[in-house]
Structure 1
Amino acid sequence: MYIISKLKKKGVVIVKKKTTGERLLTLGTMIIIFIIWFMITKLGLADQKLVPSPKSVWAAFVDIMQNGYKNYTLLEHLGSSMNRLISAFFSAIIIAIPLGLASGYSSKLRALLEPIIEFYRPLPPLAYYTLLVLWLGIENKSKIALLFLACFAPIYISCVSAVIKVKEDYVNSAYTVGANKVQIFIYVIFPACLPDIFIGLRTALGVAYTTLVSAEMVAANSGIGWMVLDASRYLRSDIIFVGIIIMGITGILLDKSIQFIENKVVPWKGRE
């Protein structure tokens, strides 16, 4: 894991790894949260139906791992959710990045697409999910389409913003050495946009994950989000906690995967 420490040393922003002390602070925070959770349930400060004990959550996890939940194993529930999420995420990447970069490069294209993006972006997912179900059916197509729309806007906006704020000095310098527009885009604009593109990807993934539960609310019988919703109908807070913890962990792992790729693709990020 990386943090950016802005040290005024020769005008360079230095990116360094998280120190041992900072790792211990992170671990300490997690331990404190677990202790508070344990003490609340141990002392009976909260109803077990609302806040299950760590022991009951672990027992629910083991039971679901061994016996599954509603005819599906835990891995099948997780696989269904990841299939919907990753399919929508990569579809958004393929379409939103080229459109966003082109819109940043062309004010006319930006004027054409921005009203559409800005109109649907603030809408709650459930506001138009019913329409997607009517148009695409109740199977995975409507769910993937909902997640695609959730991913598309953050990626598109980050790409447009990245192109707009590329320094003109970089472009003019490329022109002076004889570069054409295609070469400028490939060798100047696109590399300069990569840090913002990865920020957009991380934001889009987070938004899509929060939308996943909405996507699995209608006519689904599998998925981590569906499992949490179904368990809530029967006040199975232990299963709800299992689902939330799994979603949190997988969300962190997916985000770390993007960060890992970013560190390999954009090694100059964080330097001035």
Structure 2
Amino acid sequence: MATTLKAVGIGQMFKPAAARPGESYGAPGTGRSTGISVVTVLTLFVLWWVATHAGWIKPLFLPAPEAILARFQKVLAEGFAGASLWEHAGASLARVFGAFALACVTAIPIGIAMGVNRVFRGIFDPPIEFYRPIPPLAYLPLTIIWFGIGETQKIILIYLAIFAPMALAARAGVRSVAIEQIHAAYSMGASRAQVVRNVILPAALPEILIGMRIGIGFGWTTLVAAEMVAATAGLGYMVLSASEFLVTEVVIMGILIIGAVAYLFDLGMRWLERRLVPWKGKV
């Protein structure tokens, strides 16, 4: 009896608080977590400001926030490394989102096919699992040999970084579908195409969206590597050019811009996820 009560007490101790109507447990960006995030960001900026103004870190290694803001205004007005800030940002966005769009129309269907058909899984699984752990810098020279040093090579390099996580996420989503749902659809006379469209795809959609979020993160990570060779504009190119001349303000500014754009896209994907799969986390 005492053991039972003790187990119940432990269960109650770790039982999550009841969510309000229409709110899922642990929903990002809601309630108390948003306040904690804001406090965390403000604390980091305060520590940054104190460390630079107290002389703990030399400006060469970490400039003060106002120095980066001043440099941002200067680059916005005059440009940097032969291009304006808008040209740098536009070139990078075109490369990353061009590769992302290409991955969406290829990786997701291939991942779904791998999940529903063992022949496709046998064909695509070995090469994807082989190259997935390889860092993009390792096959950067190969993409240059195959595709030259133009825009195609840069987009292909980013595309390869995005492709694997998106395809594997789509496959995992398909494999997570309950077999009872598929049998129920077949018992009601659904065809294979109808099962895939009306049962498998909706159930796999949460995993597919997560794969898209992870994939675009890999795309931004690969951007600097893609712009190392024969680039004349781009945020990664701007950061690399600034690092060669030890212009730390521009390096940090470029990193902050890349992070901000990636974070805004992630917020957009979260919004899309709430619209397309509103049941996620509530059932």
TM over 0.5: yes
Give the drift of 1:175. 1.2
| 2:69 is aligned with 1:64 | no
- 1:86-105 residue pairs with structure 2 within 5 A? 86-105=97-116
Q: Could you report, residue by residue, the CA deviation over 1:49-88 in whole angstroms, capped at 9, with x for unpaired residues?
A: 1110111111110000000002211011000000000000
Matched residues in 1 for 2:166 and 2:101: separation?
11
Give the drift of 1:18. 4.3
* Partners of 2:81 and 2:241 within 8 A in 1: no
Pick from 49, 61, 68 the counterpart of residue 38 of structure 1: 49
- 1:188-203 residue pairs with structure 2 within 5 A? 188-203=199-214
Rg larger in structure: 2
| 2:24 is aligned with 1:14 | yes
Q: 1:73 corresponds to which residue?
A: 84
Structure 2: which amino acid aligns with 1:225?
G
| 2:253 is aligned with 1:249 | no
Q: 2:168 corresponds to which residue?
A: 157
Gaps of 5+ in 1: none
SS of aligned partner of 1:235 = coil
Q: 2:276 corresponds to which residue?
A: 265
Matched residues in 2 for 1:20 and 1:120: separation?
41
> Which deviates more, 21-30 or 132-141?
21-30
| 2:94 is aligned with 1:83 | yes
> Which deviates more, 87-96 or 252-261?
252-261
Q: Could you report, residue by residue, the CA deviation over 1:138-159 in whole angstroms, capped at 9, with x for unpaired residues?
A: 1110000001101100010011
Give the drift of 1:20. 4.8
Gaps of 5+ in 2: 1-14
- 1:96-245 residue pairs with structure 2 within 5 A? 96-245=107-256
Give the drift of 1:245. 0.7
Normalised by the length of structure 2, the TM-score is 0.90
| Cα distance change, pair 17–203 in 1 and its aligned pair in 2 (3 A) | closer
Q: Could you report, residue by residue, the CA deviation over 1:77-103 in whole angstroms, capped at 9, with x for unpaired residues?
A: 000000000000010000011111011
Give the drift of 1:165. 1.7
Matched residues in 2 for 1:136 and 1:18: separation?
42
Aligned length: 266
* Partners of 2:91 and 2:234 within 8 A in 1: yes
* Partners of 1:125 and 1:211 within 8 A in 2: yes
* Partners of 1:7 and 1:14 within 8 A in 2: no
Q: Say which structure is richer in strand.
A: 1
Percent pairwise identity: 37
Matched residues in 1 for 2:28 and 2:104: separation?
28
Structure 2: which amino acid aligns with 1:186?
R
| Cα distance change, pair 261–13 in 1 and its aligned pair in 2 (3 A) | closer
| Cα distance change, pair 8–42 in 1 and its aligned pair in 2 (3 A) | closer
